[in-house]
Structure 1
Amino acid sequence: IIHLLVILFSVSTWIGINGIFIELPLLVNIAPESWNLPAYIVIVTQSANVGPAIYIFLRKNKCELNESLCILCLLCLQVLAMGLLIFFHDKTTVIGGEKHSLILLVSVFFNALVGCFSSVLFLPYFRDFDDIYIVSYFIGEGLSGVLPSIVALIQGVGERLECNTREIIPLNASYVKFPGQYYFLFLTLVLVLSLVAFIILQYSPSVQSRKNLRDPNFFTQTKVQLVDYKRHNELDVSPNVWYIGHTLSRKENKEANCSLSKEANNLYILRKIYLYILIGICCFFSNGFLPSIQSYSCLPYGQLAYQLSITCAQFVNPLACFSTFWLKVSNIKIINCLSLICLIAGCYVICIALLSPAPPLQSSIIGVGLIVLFWIILSGIVSYLKLIIVSLVKHISSSKALFDVGIVMQVGSASGAIISFVLINFTDFFKVYDSCSV
Structure 2
Amino acid sequence: MSLLTHMLACLFGIGSWVAINGMWVELPLIVPEIPEGWYLPSYLTVIIQLANIGPLFITLMHRFRPGVLDERPVIYTIVVLGILATFLLAFLWKHTLFVGTAEHSVALLSLSFLLSVVDCTSSVTFLPFMMRLQPQYLTTYFVGEGLSGLIPALVALIQGVGVVQCKNATITTNLSMVNYTGATSNELQAHYQPANFSVQVFFLFLSSMMAVCLSAFVMLNYLPAVAQEHKCEKYLDDAKHEETADVSLSLQNRPAEQTPMLEHPEDQANKPHSTFGKGTYNRAEVVFIFVVLAWVNALTNAVLPSVQSYSCLPYGNQTYHLATAMAAVANPVACFIAMFFPIRSLMMMGVLTVTGTGFGAYIMGMAAMSPCPLLVYHELGAALMVITWVIFVLTLSYVKVIIGVILRDEGHSALVWCGAVVQLGSMLGAMSMFPLVSVYGLFKSGDPCNTKCPI
Please state if 1:275 is matched with 2:298.
Answer: no
Name 2:248's counterpart in structure 1: none
Q: How big is the shift at 1:35?
A: 2.1
Name 1:178's counterpart in structure 2: 197
Q: Find the residue that maps to 2:304 and give its secondary structure.
A: helix
1:61 corresponds, among 64, 67, 77, to 64
The code of the aligned residue for 2:98 comes to V
Q: How big is the shift at 1:263?
A: 7.3
Name 1:234's counterpart in structure 2: none
Q: If the length of structure 2 is used for normalisation, what is the TM-score?
A: 0.81
Separation of aligned partners in 2, 1:169 and 1:102:
30
Matched-pair contact (CA < 8 Å) for 1:29–1:170? no
Name 1:203's counterpart in structure 2: 222
Name 1:93's counterpart in structure 2: 97
Q: How big is the shift at 1:285?
A: 0.6
Separation of aligned partners in 2, 1:120 and 1:19:
21
Please state if 1:257 is matched with 2:257.
Answer: no
Separation of aligned partners in 2, 1:368 and 1:14:
29
Q: Find the residue that maps to 1:431 and give its secondary structure.
A: coil
Separation of aligned partners in 2, 1:305 and 1:262:
49
Separation of aligned partners in 2, 1:35 and 1:66:
40
What RMSD over aligned residues (CA atoms) do the two structures have, in Å? 2.5
Offset from partner CA, 1:338-393 (integer Å, 9 cap, x none): 22211221221122222223222222122111111111001111111100111022
Name 2:44's counterpart in structure 1: 41
Deviates more, 1:351-360 or 1:57-66: 57-66
The code of the aligned residue for 2:221 comes to Q
Name 1:7's counterpart in structure 2: 10
Name 1:242's counterpart in structure 2: none
The code of the aligned residue for 2:53 comes to V
The number of residue pairs the alignment matches comes to 397
Offset from partner CA, 1:140-159 (integer Å, 9 cap, x none): 11111111122211111111
Please state if 1:24 is matched with 2:34.
Answer: no
The code of the aligned residue for 1:108 comes to S
The code of the aligned residue for 1:158 comes to G
2:129 corresponds, among 116, 125, 136, to 125
Deviates more, 1:379-388 or 1:38-47: 38-47
The code of the aligned residue for 2:365 comes to C
Q: Find the residue that maps to 2:271 and give its secondary structure.
A: helix
Deviates more, 1:321-330 or 1:370-379: 321-330
Q: How big is the shift at 1:260?
A: 2.1
Name 1:378's counterpart in structure 2: 392
Name 1:353's counterpart in structure 2: 367
Q: Which runs of 5+ in 2 are unaligned?
A: 172-186, 233-262
Q: How big is the shift at 1:168?
A: 7.0
Change beyond 3 A, Cα 1:400–1:54: closer
Change beyond 3 A, Cα 1:168–1:102: farther
Name 1:245's counterpart in structure 2: none
Offset from partner CA, 1:242-275 (integer Å, 9 cap, x none): xxxxxxxxxxx95433432367979644323321
The code of the aligned residue for 2:192 comes to L
Separation of aligned partners in 2, 1:195 and 1:411:
26
Separation of aligned partners in 1, 2:268 and 2:27:
61
1:317 corresponds, among 331, 335, 351, to 331
Offset from partner CA, 1:69-88 (integer Å, 9 cap, x none): 11101111110011112222
Separation of aligned partners in 2, 1:378 and 1:262:
33
1:144 corresponds, among 145, 148, 159, to 148
Offset from partner CA, 1:96-152 (integer Å, 9 cap, x none): 233222222222112111221122111111123222111111111111111112221
Q: Which runs of 5+ in 1 are unaligned?
A: 214-252
Q: How big is the shift at 1:290?
A: 1.0
Q: Find the residue that maps to 1:400 and give its secondary structure.
A: helix
Q: Equivalent residues in 2 for 1:101-116 (5 A)?
A: 101-116=105-120
Please state if 1:398 is matched with 2:411.
Answer: yes
Separation of aligned partners in 1, 2:327 and 2:305:
11
The code of the aligned residue for 2:330 comes to V
Q: How big is the shift at 1:27?
A: 1.0
Separation of aligned partners in 2, 1:260 and 1:40:
52
Separation of aligned partners in 1, 2:77 and 2:45:
24
Matched-pair contact (CA < 8 Å) for 2:42–2:438? no
Please state if 1:334 is matched with 2:344.
Answer: no
Separation of aligned partners in 2, 1:274 and 1:30:
46
The code of the aligned residue for 2:20 comes to I
Deviates more, 1:317-326 or 1:268-277: 268-277
Change beyond 3 A, Cα 1:254–1:374: same
Offset from partner CA, 1:254-307 (integer Å, 9 cap, x none): 543343236797964432332121111111111111111112222222222221
The code of the aligned residue for 1:271 comes to E
Matched-pair contact (CA < 8 Å) for 2:12–2:214? yes
